[in-house]
Every structure is written in structure tokens, then in C-alpha cells.
Amino acid sequence: MPSLVVDTTPLRISPAFRRLWFGLSISNLGTQLTVVAVGLQVYDITGSTFTVGILGLFALVPLIIFGLYGGAIVDHYDRRKVALYASLVSWAVILVLAIQGWADNEHVGLLFALVAVQSGANAVNAPARSAIIPRLLEPRLMPAANALQAIGFQTALTVGPLIGAALVAAFDYGLAYTVDFVLFTFALAAVFRLPPVLPEASSTRRARVGIGSIVDGLKYLGTQKNVRMTFAVDLIAMVVAMPRVVFPAVGIWYLGGGATTTGILTAALAVGAVLSGTFSGGLARVRWQARVITFAITGWGLSIVAFGLVLVAVGRDKPDHVLWAALAIACCTLVAAGGADEISAIFRQTILQTATPDDMRGRLQGVFIVVVAGGPRLGDLWIGSMSEWVGEAWAVVIGGSLCVVLLWLLVRWQRSFWDYDGRNPVA
């Protein structure tokens, strides 16, 4: 039924959005190749899982710093130029990665530095692109546009790591990075062809970008209850109920299959997100968007509880073969969780893009990047710590249950969020 399939109207009516969507979808595939290749190369050089974990720290810190500062830059300058310059930095980093890959580099410090620079560039690029899209499309088309972007990103997240691992295994790190370098040109070309996107006039904008501009954005966020709630409910879902940290243990102690099972479980979340985006045609007509977010996060929490109960049922017995029936049921719960999370993400992004004035859009998109990146990492710490006390299975059950309880307590306390009207967006 056409009404159930993702609405492609944004692609049909806006050539600029169509080029941007296509370019980002292709380049995201290459990005996932590099994510996998860098992790594998660091492990190959050091033989240390801990060092691979440190790589994530080198990515996170610049993301937080430049996510906030980059958002302020986006609100002061031509967003096309900001995105273009940030993309050129990323492109140059990928080129250096390819060169060192072909040269068989064995200095892990170089990889740490390149990942840090690339993460900082992405932290500026992402708010710029997100702030550009509302200028290319009408507000009513934002849910459809965000669903289309979700499909492109989650498809890359599903397929990219598999291709990246295959390239490294069959050929070399240099080839994986080179493929990313080629694919990234699609995103670069799409940004280059955008029209100028100058910030709209604002009496509150400072003359120069600095700490004051960042503080202004945070102060504004503190006064906007509905936008602030989109961040708060996502943090609840990701911090207390993100199960990915237990996947390696699940592959060994619960379901069998080791790394293969870990990969399957990770892919199941992405598959759910792709499916929800593909069949999101009805979302464009949703009026009470915050209520959909609330029900979607509830679905996320309950699906995570179901995943944990599967683990409780099979027990921590370290099977010597894959428990295929249990794995299939576990994957179904994670597909449902991934689908629910993506529906929440579509409308959280929609509220942020439509309810925020243009002169604050970049800074709040920067905060969004920090929340999206930091929440799951805090979730890894929470579930990982709980697992030490009660075991992986019950840690997941407790996390999912706590997510639902905290969500509804917060929504009842912040009643205006429940009544948010997508036809009359108020931050």
C-alpha cells in the first residue's frame, strides 16, 4: 500500500535535497568501512582490546567539543560553506588513512590523531547538514525527509561493516580506506552543489563566534521545554537500556556462536531501523508527534526487556554450538527495538528542526550530536556495571524496565510535551 511505504515526496520536489540524500547515503557506506578498518588495524598493531577502546575516546572528546562549538559556527556563517570546509577536512583525513594503510603503518598514535581530527570535522559537518535541510523543504515534509535519511544511514550501518571486514580480510587496510575516499566524493559533490544557506537575520546573534555563543544556545535550550524533552527521553532510552555492551558475552555465554552471534545481534537493531523507515509512509500525517515518541520509546524498553528474558530463559551455560531458536527470538526482539528507536529518532529530529528558530538551529543540532553520541556510551557503562552485579541477562531486563518507568514519570511531569502539536510546533 503506497500509504505505508516511505514518502519520497522530498526527493521528488527538491533536487538539492535529493542530491544531498544520495551523496550522504553513499558516503555513509564508506564511513562504516573506515570505522571497521581502523578498529581492526589498531588491534592488528597492538593486539589489545583496551587500545581499541581508547580509540573510541579519541573520537568522543572531539565530537563533544566541536559538536557544541561547531553548532555555533553553523548559526553564524553560510551553512553550505561550513559543511563544505568540514567535508574537505574529512576527505583529507581519509586520504591520509589510505596512504598509511597502503604503507603498512604500525604507529597507532597516527591512527588516534586521524580519528580525532575526523571526528571533530564530522561534529561540525553534521549540525551544518541538519540545519540546511529545513531550508530546503517545507516543515510538513520533515518526518518523511528524516525517515529517508534514516534508511540511508541504517542501511550503511548494516552493510558497511560487513563489506569493510571482507575488504580487510581479502585485501588490505589501504583498499578499505581508498574505497571510503572514493565514496566520500559523492557527499562532497552534493554539498558543493547546494545553494548558499545564509543564517536568517537575528537581533540576538553575537558579532563573533565564541564561548558566549555556545552559552546562548544552552540557555535557550533551558527555556524550551519540548525540545529539551526530546533530548531527555532519548538519554533515558540510551543510558539505561542500550544492550549492545552485552552482545560479546551473549555470543559466548548464552547463545553460542561468538563473534558471529555478536555481529548478528548488532545487525538486528539496524535491520529494525531500516524496516521502520521503509514503512514510514503514515508518519508524515502524525499530528501528536511527542506521543508517538513516548510510545516508541516504551516499545524500545519493552523490546529490550523481552531480549533480556530470552537470555534469562536460556541461562549462562556457555553452549558449544549456536542456539538457533533462541537466537532467532532474540533477533526478533532487537529488530522490534531498532524499529521503535528509529521512529522515536525521526520525530525527535523533526521537532528539533521545526520548533527551533533558524538562528538557534545549528547550536541545538550540535547538542543533538553530543546526546546521540554520548548516550549509548554512557549506556555501555551502566549496563556493563550492572552486569557485574546481576549478570548480563538481568542487567538488560532491569535496564529495559527502568527505561519505561522513568520515561512515563518524566512525561507525566512535563505534560506540555505530551500535548505537543506538530501542526503548531512550539519549542
Using one digit for the tens of pLDDT, what is the confidence trace for 259-300?
678 778 888 888 898 888 887 777 667 788 899 999 999 999
State how far the Cα of 334 lies from the Cα of 340, in Å rounded to an integer. 10
Q: What is the pLDDT of residues 379-407, one digit of tens each?
A: 887 888 888 889 999 999 999 999 999 99
Show the low-confidence residues of the chain (pLDDT under 70): 1-3, 49-50, 53, 161, 165, 169, 203-204, 207, 259, 283-284, 425-427
pLDDT at 214: 78
State how far the Cα of 249 lies from the Cα of 393, in Å rounded to an integer. 10
- Could you tell me how many residues make up the chain? 427
Q: Which DSSP string corresponds to 75-141?
A: TTS-HHHHHHHHHHHHHHHHHHHHHHHHTT---HHHHHHHHHHHHHHHHHHHHHHHHHHHHHS-GGG
pLDDT at 1: 45
**Is 17 in contact with 136 (CB distance < 8 Å)?**
yes
List Cα–Cα distances, 58 to 61, 65, 147, 382, in angstroms.
Answer: 6, 12, 30, 20
| CB proximity list for 14: less than 8 A, separation 6 or greater | 136, 137
Exposed, middle or buried: residue 116 (CB in 10 Å: 0-12, 13-18, 19+)?
A: buried
pLDDT at 221: 82
Distance from CA of residue 216 to its chain's centroid?
25
pLDDT at 425: 66
